[in-house]
DNA sequence: TTCCCTAATTTGTGATCACATTTTCGAGGC
DNA sequence: GCCTCGAAAATGTGATCACAAATTAGGGAA
């Protein structure tokens, strides 16, 4: 198994009080965030079956809040109930579905980037550069997980600026669905031939405030990444 | 209150066995369908607060399956938990959010219609004509609810044909979010000045297999309806 | 009548139990 | 060694209970 064991959650997968900043959030929200992070970064492979009680004991909570978090993830198609078993698993992607994912991402994410231009600040640009450096460093070390995480941080740091909640939610849902498969593909390709991302051009376009260029570069970035996945799926 | 009382569900809001065709579906799925229908047809006004136990007793089930159905609807932004109260209600739409809804619907629904062209049959066209006749009849009688229902049936009869699950889910989510507000606006306008829908042109384009025209007419139809809502919101 | 304070009710959340179905796994037979 | 069968374990679903927080209702004082 090329994936980290699922049953080992980080010691504080749920923020536990003082140090955690979400101590007032409900348990099922925290469980949701924990699971969503795992999925979006591809830490759970497609087809992998999970179970309420296993997750619950792994997180140190009762099955109840896990049920609610899982129900939410099912609604986002980030998890599915097998029709035969009614058992829980991470969905696999058909070529058809992947193409729809690609089209949707290529519609919503350039739009989000476009809207982020107006709200972009020097500080955020600095943070984006830091994200990109972490990304390059991960590439250098062959650290696929690090790449996934830095790439996610980079993109959503931009999207959050757009102040377009509906579009942001759509993007989250789409990433939740593509994360597991993306991780498999990128893990198989190795970090050497990972996408020539357009983050540099993107940052430059943000610096000059060229909204049209931002939109175009984001479109290219998404397109290139998804194209890799599509080729991998066909083979 | 211009809306039907929420607490009166139709005698068999949940299909109960022999006559119901979903007798094998889980209870929370049936509850979800019942609630989703109410919302998509605008039977629950924006801002209306609902409660798990009220819904549960109204449907004759325990609160448990209602919780799961509601959690799913919250994930789709068809319901929300007020941050202060943590109480459940139907969300209201800001102008900003409505614009995003409009953009998203105008992207996904023409695409769905476009894809439906290849799968369109004589039978389905006949059903579409029947839907449209029900719609016109409702308009004539001033029956806003009938209009909402026929319009929904017409559109999703098309979308289901597209065989694009992801896009179909996106459309459902968007309708769930716009339903309650749409009902308010159309109820206020009265059926006399309801949108000049483009259903006739749409049907004709389907009959001739003109996919480009289908896409255009669907775009116009969505645009016109949403434009009415936008104007109403600004006032 | 109007205002305010208290008690009763209602609410969402989490835990626990019960149950039918499915999967897992090991003993026994070939 | 390989297969088969049956008991044990695990799984999703639904119901019920407990609890803290919030809302509502009602009665008494001005």
pLDDT for A23 equals 58
pLDDT for A167 equals 98
Secondary structure letter of residue B92 according to DSSP = P
From A92, A122, A147, give the residue that closes a domain: A92
Name residue, tokens 């059926």: B191
Q: How far apart are CA A201 and CA A218, in angstroms?
A: 9
Q: CA of B97 to nearest chain A CA: how many angstroms apart? A: 7
What does chain B come to in residues? Answer: 235
Same structural domain, B101 and B211: yes
| Distance between the alpha carbon (CA) of B187 and the C1' atom of C3, Å | 39
Q: How far apart are CA A15 and CA A120, in angstroms?
A: 30
Nearest to A87 by CA among A36, A50, A55: A50
Same structural domain, B78 and B144: no
| Distance between the alpha carbon (CA) of B82 and the C1' atom of D10, Å | 37
Residue A77: C-alpha distances to residues A170, A173, B96, B165 (Å): 12, 8, 26, 11
pLDDT reading at B65 higher than 70: yes
For the stretch B102-132, pLDDT in tens is 999 999 999 999 999 999 999 999 999 999 9
pLDDT for A142 equals 87
pLDDT reading at B81 higher than 90: yes
Structure-model confidence comparison of residues B223 and A3, the more confident one: B223
Transcribe B111-180 into DSSP letters: HHHHHHGGG--HHHHHHHHHHHHHHHHHHHHT-HHHHHHHHHHHHHHHHHHT--HHHHHHHHHHHHHHHH
The beta-carbon neighbor of B71 closest among A68, A97, A170 is: A68
pLDDT for B17 equals 39
Alpha helices in chain A (DSSP H): 27-40, 52-59, 63-75, 95-116, 122-141, 144-161, 165-189, 199-208, 211-234
Inspect the interface and report whether the beta carbons of A104 and B166 lie closer than 8 Å.
yes
Share the mean pLDDT of chain B: 88
Transcribe B11-71 into DSSP letters: TTSS--SSS-TTTTS-HHHHHHHHHHHHHHTT-S-TT-B--HHHHHHHHTS-HHHHHHHHH
pLDDT for A84 equals 87
Q: Return the SS3 of B81.
A: strand
From B92, B111, B132, give the residue that closes a domain: B92
Nearest to A51 by CA among A72, A93, A81: A81
Please state the φ and ψ torsions of residue B201, each to the nearest 5 degrees: -60, -40
Inspect the interface and report whether the beta carbons of A75 and B77 lie closer than 8 Å.
no
Neighbouring C-beta atoms of residue A87, cutoff 10 Å: 12
> Mean per-residue pLDDT for B136-162?
94
Chain A contact residues (CB < 8 Å to B):
67-68, 71-72, 74-77, 96-97, 100-101, 103-104, 107-108, 111, 164-167, 169-170, 177
Low-confidence ranges of chain A (pLDDT < 50): 1-8, 11, 16-21
> Mean per-residue pLDDT for B4-31?
60
Inspect the interface and report whether the beta carbons of B71 and A76 lie closer than 8 Å.
no
Positive/negative CA dihedral, B223, B228, B229, B235: positive
Residue B31: C-alpha distances to residues A181, A196, B60 (Å): 32, 47, 10
Inspect the interface and report whether the beta carbons of A104 and B76 lie closer than 8 Å.
no
Q: How far apart are CA A142 and CA B5, in angstroms?
A: 61
Q: How far apart are CA A147 and CA A134, in angstroms?
A: 8
Same structural domain, B110 and B66: no
Footprint of strand C on the protein (CB under 7 A): A 26-28, 61-65, 68, 84-87; B 50-54, 63-64, 67, 81, 86-88
pLDDT for B190 equals 73
Q: How far apart are CA B49 and CA B63, in angstroms?
A: 16
Same structural domain, B162 and B125: yes
Same structural domain, A30 and A122: no
Contacts 24+ apart (CB under 8 A), A139-144: A139/A191, A139/A194, A140/A191, A141/A191, A142/A190, A142/A191, A142/A192, A143/A191, A144/A183, A144/A186, A144/A187, A144/A190, A144/A191
Please return the burial class of B204, using the count of CB atoms within 10 Å of its CB with bins 0-12, 13-18 and 19+.
middle
* Two structure tokens written together for A75: 């609604």
CATH at B207: 1.20.120.530
Same structural domain, A142 and A215: yes
| Distance between the alpha carbon (CA) of A49 and the C1' atom of C28, Å | 32
Pairing of strands A88-89, A80-81: antiparallel
From B66, B92, B118, give the residue that closes a domain: B92
Task: Give the number of beta-carbon pairs within 8 Å between A and B.
Answer: 52
pLDDT for B4 equals 36
Q: CA of A143 to nearest chain B CA: how many angstroms apart? A: 31
Please return the burial class of A233, using the count of CB atoms within 10 Å of its CB with bins 0-12, 13-18 and 19+.
middle
Same structural domain, A114 and A145: yes
Same structural domain, A13 and A117: no
pLDDT for A24 equals 72
Domain that holds residue A40: 1-92
Same structural domain, A133 and A177: yes
Inspect the interface and report whether the beta carbons of B75 and A76 lie closer than 8 Å.
yes
For the stretch B187-201, pLDDT in tens is 888 766 666 678 999
For the stretch A14-68, pLDDT in tens is 554 344 445 578 999 999 999 999 999 999 999 999 999 999 999 999 999 999 9
> Mean per-residue pLDDT for B14-29?
62
Nearest to A185 by CA among A79, A55, A46: A46
Same structural domain, B47 and B110: no
pLDDT for B196 equals 66
pLDDT for B181 equals 95
Same structural domain, A102 and A85: no
pLDDT for B192 equals 65
Q: Indicate the number of domains in chain A.
A: 2
Q: Return the SS3 of A49.
A: strand
Residues in A 3-62 whose C-beta is less than 7 A from nucleic strand D are 50-54
Same structural domain, B65 and B111: no
Q: How far apart are CA B128 and CA B124, in angstroms?
A: 6
CATH at A32: 1.10.10.10
Distance of CA A233 to the CA centre of its chain: 19
Interface test with A, best of B71, B72, B112, B177 (most A CBs within 10 A): B71
Please return the burial class of A38, using the count of CB atoms within 10 Å of its CB with bins 0-12, 13-18 and 19+.
buried
């Amino acid at each position: 198994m090329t994936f980290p064991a699922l049953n080992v959650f980080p010691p504080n997968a749920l923020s536990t009080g003082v140090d955690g900043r979400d101590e007032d959030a409900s348990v099922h929200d925290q469980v949701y965030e924990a699971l969503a992070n795992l999925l979006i970064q591809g830490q759970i492979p497609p087809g992998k079956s999970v179970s309420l009680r296993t997750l619950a004991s792994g997180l140190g909570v009762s099955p109840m809040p896990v049920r609610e978090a899982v129900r939410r993830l099912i609604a986002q198609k980030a998890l599915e109930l097998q029709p035969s078993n009614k058992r829980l698993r991470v969905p696999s992607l058909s070529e058809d579905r992947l193409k729809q994912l690609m089209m949707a991402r290529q519609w919503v994410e350039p739009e989000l980037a476009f809207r982020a231009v107006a709200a972009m600040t020097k500080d955020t640009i600095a943070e984006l550069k830091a994200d990109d450096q972490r990304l390059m460093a991960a590439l250098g070390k062959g650290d696929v997980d690090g790449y996934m995480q830095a790439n996610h941080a980079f993109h959503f740091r931009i999207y959050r600026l757009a102040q377009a909640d509906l579009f942001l939610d759509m993007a989250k849902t789409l990433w939740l669905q593509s994360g597991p498969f993306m991780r498999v593909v990128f893990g198989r390709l190795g970090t050497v031939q990972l996408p020539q991302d357009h983050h540099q051009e993107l940052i430059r376009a943000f610096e000059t405030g060229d909204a049209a260029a931002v939109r175009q570069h984001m479109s290219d970035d998404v397109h290139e990444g998804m194209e890799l996945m599509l080729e991998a799926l066909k083979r």
